[in-house]
Structure 1
Amino acid sequence: MLDTIQRRFSLLEPYITAYGPSDAVCRPAVLLFHACNGVRHHIHDYARQVAALGYRAYVIDSFLPRGWDHTAAMSLVCSGLALHGYERSGDVLAAIWGLAQRPEVDAGNLILAGWSHGGWSIMDLMTQKLTRPGEARLENGSPEPLKGVKGLFLVYPYINFPARSNTHGWEYRPKTQAVLARQDFLTAHSHADHIFTHLKSEGVPVERLDLEATHCFDEDSALHFGPLMAYDKASHKKTEMAFEAFILDVFKGA
């Protein structure tokens, strides 16, 4: 049975963490989507960075609403057994739709930010027309909520099989910043380079930040596996600076 966009947002809403000024002023917002290992502390740090600029930020947890803790996420999602990017793209669309209803959110000025699996989900959403039932695994998906999405910030996005950007063009073309790791073992840098170069040739306004780092370079955690996923302070700082510059550029004049 397919979810409606309303039912999917109702599932997610209790697990959305909000950051920003404690007022009712309508402000631009950034929606943050975590990697396959769930919401980690660095995602909240990025959200606080948005709030410090005077905007709103929302961290959307896709796993706790489904009853998955960190261990379940690692075994089910990181392994590819459950919740591919295409299915989770429904979470992205539902979160946009639901948060845009809030009077304190400027629905016409939104940025989607995704890390690894979160980037995959955002990118898969960009490939769908959303004009027929079943797309994004939703009964009543619509392109209407995406009209307010002005930017995408994608950090080491997963773009290997079965990510749709390998075989599908994008239906929407918001300003995009891709942060790519040259030692990424989940998506080879050469492949990510090919995908984003192709998207740019098709008219997607893509800018790149290529770093000498591994996958998950901005997560300072003991869960990393040696040289495959190592924290890199310098790359983390460069990403924070790029994130801030991107937000200020996209929301200028808002």
Structure 2
Amino acid sequence: MDTMAQRYALLEPDMTVYGPQDEVVRPVVVLFHGCGGMRPHVHLYAQAVALTGVRAYVIDSFKPRGWDRNFAVSLICSGAVLQGYERAGDVLSVLYGLQKSSRVDMDKVILCGFSHGGWSIMDLMTSPLTKAGNVRIADPDPALVDRLKGLFLVYPYINFPARSNTAKWLHKPETFVVLANKDHLTPIRHSQKVFGKLKAQGVDVTALELDASHAFDEEDNKGLIMQYDPAIMQTSLEGLLSFVTERFELT
């Protein structure tokens, strides 16, 4: 079982940072890719965020572990390896590392997750983070999560065995979710049900429902089940920029 420092040390070498490369303390957006591994669209979202003057950190959970796309699609997308609750340890440990960097305003951090990345972020919200072993981390710290400014979730996977189906969120940052009404992995009605329950628990949720498939922003998707749509990606991207501007009070 890793400590937060050990997990961050694993991830940090393959982290990509966009935005001002200085020592000024700034707000940040941290982006976590889907189950298929790092894809170009995640970097496009991050580059757009950086244009607002904040930093964007793109986290690759797979490359540091030696996992390629074939491994990811066959074993992670099938749920056999690194389910959301386990990867939630990556999310928490990145927050630890950012705090240690002394370059981040920890009261102005937004987590952004795509599909499996969204699942991982949501599972983190369900964990008390008070005992060794929570999210498979030896020394979890709930204060890192309770300071979050917001969550931006893009077609998050919340079908079985995602913990938000049955567990309440113990941490409740303001949340913006982009849902695809043709999502084959998590049907839109199920997503509506889950986020409706979260609203009832007191989570401030804004939902943007788009006429799109799962992974509508991945340019390689040209099939009947998952279809790239640049116009819809632009709408999603504008949603992120609006959320960042509002939560960080940018002028």
TM-score (norm 1): 0.96
Question: Shift in Å at residue 22 of structure 1?
Answer: 2.4
Alignment partner, residue 237 of structure 2:
240
Task: Give the conservation status (yes or no) of the 8 Å contact 2:222–2:228.
Answer: no
Distance 2:122 2:169 in 1: 8
Question: Shift in Å at residue 225 of structure 1?
Answer: 6.0
Say yes or no: does 1:45 pair with 2:39: no
- The aligned length equals 251
CA RMSD of aligned residues (A): 1.1
- For 1:207, give the aligned amino acid: T
Q: Quick one: which of 245, 248, 252 aligns to 2:249?
A: 252
Q: How does 1:83-232 map to 2 (within 5 A)?
A: 83-221=82-220, 224=221, 226-232=223-229
Distance 2:96 2:81 in 1: 24
Stretches of structure 1 that go unaligned for 5 or more consecutive residues are none
SS in 1 for 2:113: strand
Distance 1:96 1:156 in 2: 22
Change beyond 3 A, Cα 1:16–1:76: same
Which has the higher mean CA deviation after the structures are superposed, 145-154 or 119-128?
Answer: 145-154
Distance 2:243 2:182 in 1: 24
Which has the higher mean CA deviation after the structures are superposed, 7-16 or 95-104?
Answer: 95-104
Distance 2:31 2:95 in 1: 11
TM-score (norm 2): 0.98
Task: Give the conservation status (yes or no) of the 8 Å contact 1:29–1:56.
Answer: yes
Question: Shift in Å at residue 103 of structure 1?
Answer: 2.2
- For 1:242, give the aligned amino acid: G
Distance 1:142 1:21 in 2: 28
- For 2:131, give the aligned amino acid: R
SS in 2 for 1:108: strand
| Percent identity (aligned) | 51
- For 1:146, give the aligned amino acid: V
